Structure 1
Amino acid sequence: MGQKHQQSTDSTSDSKKKRRVAIAPIVGSKDEAEAGTGYQIDPLDLNHFFDDDGKIYGYQSLKITIWVSSVSFHVYTDITFESSSDRGKGITDLKAALQDMFAENIVEKKDDFFQTFTIEKHYISSVISKGEVLLQNTTDGNGHSHADTTDTQVIRFVMGDMTAGLLYSRLVPLVLLLVDGSNPIDVTDSCWEMYVIVQKIADPEGDQSRLLGFAAAYRFYHYPDTLRLRLSQVLVLPPYQQKGYGRRLLEILNNAAMSESVYDLTVEEPVDSLQRIQYYIDVPRLLTCSAVQSAVDTAATHLKEANLSKRTESSQLLPPLTAVNEVRKSLKINKKQFLKCWEILLYIALNPVDKYMENYRIYITDQVKASVIGKDTGTKGKQVIDTPNDFGEDAFVMYKPQDCEDGHVDVDVLDEDQKKQQEQQLLQIVDERVKEIQLVAQKVSTTQA
């Protein structure tokens, strides 16, 4: 879940690939729209929007330009091509497909699209006046501000309300185009919440607000009497990215989770960039937790004194259950996220000194093996697999293969080349993980200084 990776334009791409992308300028004013300028996202993959096979048929040198207003989120589409002809597979009805994508947001005439910048200039201001303003400290506790928060607000809406539903419906096209693996949320379900970050704009004709981004979260029931808050979608509009607004949205969600006594806060399949922001927020918070600091010191001491290269079994060095529970209760950080942060905390605790890094790398290798290859379940002839569910809970299924005799499971034997390939892949994953840890640790250490 998160911002889709932008693809670079390749002049050598075949014509089929070129037909499957669209240019999408995001414009914030009538002048930008008329001048054909704006923040351009190029290209976008539209495969899955066109019928079942995701292909466009019947056009030569097709180009689709999708203009999106950052004022009202109306859309205007400009379709150009050299020629069209039926070559046995028909001619794709582009207007119908785009209408399905953008629904009521689409404006057919360019002049009407230009007028929306005047007619709906106060739309966002009007909508946010009906939501709940959430307060937040503008610094991380050490005097470091992560965004220009003097003119921004975060507003919460509970779905089921018509105003909130209509606002989200205007954002759906951007969600589908820019957020990986996304589907529209159910705007009639009051368990859904939308957190909108907006910026105030001075205007002689009255206050205006610009929507910078939003997050959608769901409240799941947790037995026996609590709720879990799961972040499902988060998007900062491309023109406003890399300015700290995404981080502020996550910090607001953390504040809401802590102040409203939810069980914990989880994130649904975060992309790497979103996961990194989580680290920047959660690692400093964990460093202030005495139970965590004590556990980290104990594990770090073991890494400094032991010789893991001569060990006979994998190194665990995981935090005690008491620390895991304390983190969940006080900071609302779930176990999975805590264990990811734990590796970074250990690295910081080692300072890092070169003579300790061999042990540390062995430890990370063991963790990668456990997550990628799997752990010994200790149940002969049985296998354990993780199973996702709709309630935010960790779940598993244990089963015994039908062809298992006398507790024996046949496993394919790898030849030498396969073993080498597997080892190389493992080393690559470990290298990437250690580099990520070093990057986060350096960033956190700098901001904590």
Structure 2
Amino acid sequence: MEDPASPPVSALAARLEQWSSNANEALTITLLRHGFEESLDSFHPDFTYPIFGEEESIFGYRNLQINLAFAAHNLKPHVRITHDKKWEGVGEVQASDVEGALRPFLPASAFDQELASALRNDASAASFKPPGTILHRYTTQGRLFEIWYSSLADPATKELLRNVQVLVPLFIEGGTAIEVDDLEWTIERWKVYFVYEVDTRPKRAPETSPYALIGYSTSYRVWVLTLPPPLGPSQQAYFTLDPPETDSPDLSSLQSALDLPSRERISQFLVLPPYQSAGHGTHLYNAMFDLFLSNSNTIEITVEDPNEAFDDMRDWCDLARLRAIPDFASLNINTTIPPGDMKMDATIPVDRIVDITLRDKLRTRTKIQPRQFSRLVEMHLLSTIPPLHRNKHRITRKEKSATEGDRKYYLWRLYVKHRLAIMNRDQLMQLDREERIEKLDATVDSVEEDYLRLLEVAEKRQRSAKQRVNAAAHHKEDDLAAGAKSKSVNGSVGKLRGKRHRIVLSEEDDDEAEEVVEEDDEATLPTKKRRVA
């Protein structure tokens, strides 16, 4: 029987609820400039369960505010926790230890209340320069951005990454921080890429840094071994080498372990919320990919556990890159296959449907991971089939269909089924023959639907890119005409020098033109954007 002196359960629950705070709403992340006085952006995290538990709830405070502020240039964090009232505690029911929950994710200095004062008087801010080498520079909507990269073995890079890694569990689901104090030979495998907005305002306060971080990524090398004798590109086998058991591996026969053949694996990839959907992810991914391609020791480029949003961006970037290669653009479905190769008991003739030799040569050349490359080939081949013929009801006669478009669609489905059957062999073997056919057919339908979704956006991006290139060409013609007119009036034209612009496509197909900036007097910048060819 309920004790009449005790409050009802519902009333007690309501009382406890008043002392509970949603961790995602209580935590505010701020980028600050000018000695922690000028706020650039403030935003809330997507996840806090790695820090505050699965419920993402903090108990024991009223009007709880957790302000996690970063100096925009060097990412030094500072935490300030405030509340109107704290639960005094009843027995085992105590207020959550907010600072204790945050400490494993932040440097100890972040909790030093003297830090804010020190940062306000940071004389080194104005001379700050990102560590490493500039990789790419571009402008969007009149704002300048730069991508810098460096080895994690660099002390300044290590310090920056240590500062910013708290953002990983807050925005990357399942993401974990990198152990930056690992063995030196292991740390050397890692590269870090920082994306900065550069403040070019003439009235910027002279004591502030022009750099403000908007995103970053990391990658690491996985050493591989190519087995002799040499096999065809589609058969080549790679085996990951386990790290040596000793702390000091014997690499005396090599100048550097980095000279070994390896895969480059993209690990963390984050653009901060205020800067998302503006093309920065595309610029960062493409700049990293260009760098990996330029390294002769990199055999393959992979991604570690990507989410759906990253997968889409990766597909669009990779497809655009491949379509710029004439050999890839020429890949097509061969509809003239000998009848003997199409018998019911024959193996699917994938080598006759598509030029496998050229396909595998392109994959090796572009260093794209095999499954990803296969998807891109399938996507491209689907785009070559007229929409009218992408209909299962039109292919009842299979490869004997009267029109070439119908034959291409039938053979495309057969080509995709071959890959899916191999990839899902264990699961399919547990089904009887009719179920296998039905399941495989339904899977191809789903794959096709997703490809069409991706192709629709890819085609839109491509059209927009062409329009911007044409607009830039017309703009250049107008400038030349104006220059010629000036010459006829004044008798001479001064030498034009300085910035050259090329229009490139932003990630979200914005109306605003996005430009790659190349300066003649910037020795560290490439003179042109590398292109796979």
1:337 aligns with 2:372: yes
5 Å-filtered alignment, 1:32-431, equals: 39-42=41-44, 44-50=46-52, 58-59=59-60, 61=62, 63-71=64-72, 72-73=74-75, 74-80=77-83, 82-84=85-87, 85-86=89-90, 88-104=92-108, 106-109=110-113, 112-113=115-116, 116-119=119-122, 122=125, 126-128=128-130, 130-134=131-135, 147=140, 151-187=144-180, 188=182, 189-202=187-200, 203=204, 205=206, 208-224=210-226, 225-261=260-296, 262-295=298-331, 297-298=332-333, 319-350=354-385, 352-358=386-392, 377=425, 383=426, 431=449
Letter in 2 for 1:194: V
Change (3 A) 1:250 1:120: farther
After superposition, the C-alpha distances for 1:125-156 in whole angstroms (9 at most, x for unaligned) are 6352x4122257x6xxxxxxx84798333222
Q: Structure 2, unaligned stretches of length 5 or more?
A: 1-16, 227-259, 393-405, 468-533
Change (3 A) 1:64 1:320: farther
Contact 2:107/2:163 (8 A) holds in 1: no
State the secondary structure of the residue aligned to 2:106. Answer: helix
Instruction: Give 1:355 deviation, angstroms.
Output: 2.9
**For 2:80 and 2:413, how far apart are their aligned partners in 1?**
50
Change (3 A) 1:20 1:364: farther
Contact 1:266/1:334 (8 A) holds in 2: yes
Instruction: Give 1:289 deviation, angstroms.
Output: 2.6
Contact 1:33/1:114 (8 A) holds in 2: no
**For 1:17 and 1:168, how far apart are their aligned partners in 2?**
32
Contact 2:261/2:299 (8 A) holds in 1: yes
Letter in 1 for 2:153: G
RMSD: 4.5
Change (3 A) 1:149 1:322: farther
Contact 1:196/1:213 (8 A) holds in 2: yes
Change (3 A) 1:292 1:217: same
Contact 2:143/2:198 (8 A) holds in 1: no
Instruction: Give 1:193 deviation, angstroms.
Output: 0.5
Stretch moving more, 314-323 or 87-96? 314-323
Contact 1:58/1:86 (8 A) holds in 2: no
Letter in 1 for 2:375: K
Letter in 2 for 1:191: R
After superposition, the C-alpha distances for 1:350-373 in whole angstroms (9 at most, x for unaligned) are 3x4323455688778778877888
Contact 1:60/1:83 (8 A) holds in 2: yes
State the secondary structure of the residue aligned to 2:128. Answer: helix
**For 1:15 and 1:364, how far apart are their aligned partners in 2?**
60
TM-score normalized by the length of structure 1: 0.69
Change (3 A) 1:298 1:372: closer
Structure 1 partner of 2:525: none
**For 1:264 and 1:88, how far apart are their aligned partners in 2?**
54
Structure 2 partner of 1:405: none
| Residue of 405, 417, 437 corresponding to 2:455 | 437
**For 2:56 and 2:91, how far apart are their aligned partners in 1?**
14
**For 2:389 and 2:433, how far apart are their aligned partners in 1?**
36
Letter in 1 for 2:211: S
State the secondary structure of the residue aligned to 2:329. Answer: helix
After superposition, the C-alpha distances for 1:391-422 in whole angstroms (9 at most, x for unaligned) are xxxxxxxxxxxxxxxxxx8769999xxx9999
After superposition, the C-alpha distances for 1:25-45 in whole angstroms (9 at most, x for unaligned) are 3233369868xx763434543
Change (3 A) 1:55 1:237: closer
**For 1:370 and 1:89, how far apart are their aligned partners in 2?**
59
Contact 2:145/2:197 (8 A) holds in 1: yes
Contact 1:228/1:265 (8 A) holds in 2: yes
Change (3 A) 1:363 1:60: farther
Change (3 A) 1:445 1:94: same
**Across the two proteins, how many residue pairs are aligned to each other?**
383
State the secondary structure of the residue aligned to 1:25. Answer: strand
Identity %: 16
Contact 2:69/2:78 (8 A) holds in 1: yes
**For 1:412 and 1:108, how far apart are their aligned partners in 2?**
66
Instruction: Give 1:122 deviation, angstroms.
Output: 1.7
Change (3 A) 1:410 1:148: closer
**For 2:322 and 2:155, how far apart are their aligned partners in 1?**
39
TM-score normalized by the length of structure 2: 0.59
Letter in 2 for 1:103: P
After superposition, the C-alpha distances for 1:15-67 in whole angstroms (9 at most, x for unaligned) are 89953433323233369868xx763434543222247x777675255634333
**For 2:67 and 2:302, how far apart are their aligned partners in 1?**
34
**For 1:242 and 1:268, how far apart are their aligned partners in 2?**
22
Contact 2:20/2:62 (8 A) holds in 1: no
Contact 1:156/1:196 (8 A) holds in 2: yes
